[in-house]
A and B are shown apart, each in its own frame.
Chain A
Amino acid sequence: MARELLKGNVAMAEAAVRVGLEAYFGYPITPQTELLEHLSARLPELGRTFVQAESEVAAINMVYGAACTGTRVMTSSSSPGISLMQEGISYIAGTELPAVLINVMRGGPGLGNIAPSQSDYNQAVKGGGHGDYNLIVLAPSTVQEAIDLVVLSFDLAEKYRMITMMLADGSIGQMMEPAELPQMRPVVRKDWDWAVTGAKDRDRRILSSIYINPPLEEETNIRLMKRWQEVEANEVRYKEYYLDDADFVVIGFGTSGRVALSAVRAARAEGIKVGLLRPISLNPFPFALVEELAEKASAFLVVEMNSGQMLEDIRLATKGRIPVEFYARLGGIVPFPDEVLSEIHRIATTKLNTKIHPRDAWLARFTAQNGGGS
């Protein structure tokens, strides 16, 4: 396949179509609407299912129904819509069904705005809905990576019978870049031994997230935990840049990781030995690698488009062994590479204060420089 100039939202939608997406249920919300629009044309022309639901609550429950039949099913939304979907996400997790979700994150909380943000990290990685469960969470930093991760998402969801969530942001969804789509694959409806399809020539099947007897719920919780251990052992993904001889390491995911890479390259051109770790799987998180890097590096700089949500995971893995610094832009603002480069300069040239929480230190520096927030 040739590289084409593709918009992120359209690219993710078309990638899903080509790897056998049979049904999509969604609700319009900026900045992911082109994804829904693309599928509203594509799926019917291929004889597949597209429904514009009355709400995100209905959309995720339609996904829940279709997932029960074992078909490849997906929905997409943006932050406020994903909040509405949390009920269904919890039920799908509790029923142990595969499904793919795309969150094209925007600024929040509340109605917020429609600009790129990463402030749903905690919601995606730490829970969001009720009960003990995990989602596989993948964060793309380019349109090409978004395509590749959509392809992977369906395989992971089916392998582990769980939801894979793509945690993209408004800039990934809205930007156009050259990228290559996968080949069109035939739709294969697998004969899952759990799928509800009508009890023809077999015993009836029941799919439910209810375990009214607490010992059975505990058994289910433990089954989910053990499956999650398998995911942790096999599905950690990240990308390393200039880490071999790095004195200190910048860590960022998705768009902030990509911006940080530009800054790291500029710093390298100046002779500063700095590297970059870009986690791709945010859940499971590359804890072991961060721990390993904390043994070698003199400091970390965490860059995020939120108030330091992944920062807490980095601090957990670092266990106070080295200083962790933080830089953020919030509210739908994407940092410029120069902003990150200034932080790299600061870390390279000043003694770091490890007594103050990195978030507090950043907030003090940021407000001193820019004011605001009062």
Chain B
Amino acid sequence: MTNEIAIAENIVYSRPKSLTEVHNHYCPGCTHGIAHRLIAEVLDEMGIRDKTIGVAPVGCSVFAYNYFDCDFVEAAHGRAPAMATGIKRVLPDRAVFTYQGDGDLASIGMAEIMHAAARGENISVIFINNAIYGMTGGQMAPTTLPGQKTTSSPTGRDVETAGYPIRMAEILANMDGAGYIVRRSLHDPKNIRLSKKAIRTAFETQMHGLGFSLVELLSTCPTNWGFTPVESLTWLQEHMIPVFPLGDFKVSEHLAAIKL
């Protein structure tokens, strides 16, 4: 019975070829799994799995290399854009992408991301912004919201002493070397579809040599936020989006000419 149904024309949803068949280590309700899947679908659709090299960060997605069926390297904390630069410069026809969280990209790796963008490196950056340090157990991140309680801002982020959240997409859009800089969210199906389209456009930016591309994805961390997965999606929508507005911050004019 089952075999009769599972014929090719009946299959509308399956694991992308670019994802490995292993269980991931992410917490229930975490949106890393969605982001991984979207990237894998894009690699499949573009047919570039076997010419893609990923650069994993330090943070919750430190083991991202286990989940993609393509070549991968593991960078030091924050240094993924530098490592990706080294790879892309000697293998310019490969697709090179980094996958980085907010602590990795916007705190310890601020110099590397800014200069990779300034140089117009033809790499794609998938930036997971969940407003917290997940791996180390819920400390304040550079994108933590004012007043947000974390294990290192136990009374809420006090902007007088701990400063303000950093809007990376807006900052990076000022770089002349950037070809495509957008912010999307993973909190509902519509936005997930928009996120996938943005990831595709980021890889197209790179493959067409149009410079640095970055997709910031607003993401959830139910475990460290202390909410259920569904409450987390609502919290993202109600609290993160006002601080980190969704949108296109830089789109190279050459991209408009490319039909996707």
Contact = CB atoms under 8 A, between A and B. Distances in A.
A23 B86 contact: yes
Contacts of A51: 85, 89, 119
Interface stretch (B50-58, B157-165, B183-191, B239-247): B50-58
Nearest to B72: A206
Contacts of A49: 89-90
Contacts of B82: 53, 57-59, 61-62, 64-65
Given A196-B71, A198-B70, A210-B74, A63 B111 contact: no
Interface in B102-131: 111-112, 114-115, 119
Contacts of B89: 23, 49, 51, 62, 66
Contacts of A67: 86
A210 B115 CA distance: 26
A68 interface: yes
Q: How large is the interface on A (under 10, 10 to 19, 20 to 34, 35 or more residues)?
A: 35 or more
Contacts of B85: 25, 51, 58, 62, 65
Given A65-B85, A65-B87, A210-B62, A199 B112 contact: no
Nearest to B114: A54
Contact of A196 (B72, B114, B115): B72
A55 interface: yes
B91 interface: yes
Interface string A193-221: 00011111100111111100000000000
B111 A88 contact: no
B69 interface: yes
A51 B53 CA distance: 20
Interface of B: 49-53, 55-56, 62, 65, 68-76, 79, 82-87, 89-91, 94, 111-112, 114-115, 119
Interface string A88-118: 1001000100000000000000000000000
Given A23-B89, A58-B85, A64-B82, 17 more contacts: A49-B89, A57-B79, A59-B82, A61-B82, A61-B86, A62-B83, A62-B89, A64-B76, A64-B86, A65-B55, A69-B91, A88-B79, A196-B53, A198-B52, A198-B91, A204-B71, A206-B71
A87 interface: yes
Nearest to A62: B86
A46 B187 CA distance: 49
B73 A65 contact: yes
Contact of A54 (B75, B91, B111): B111
A58 B115 contact: yes
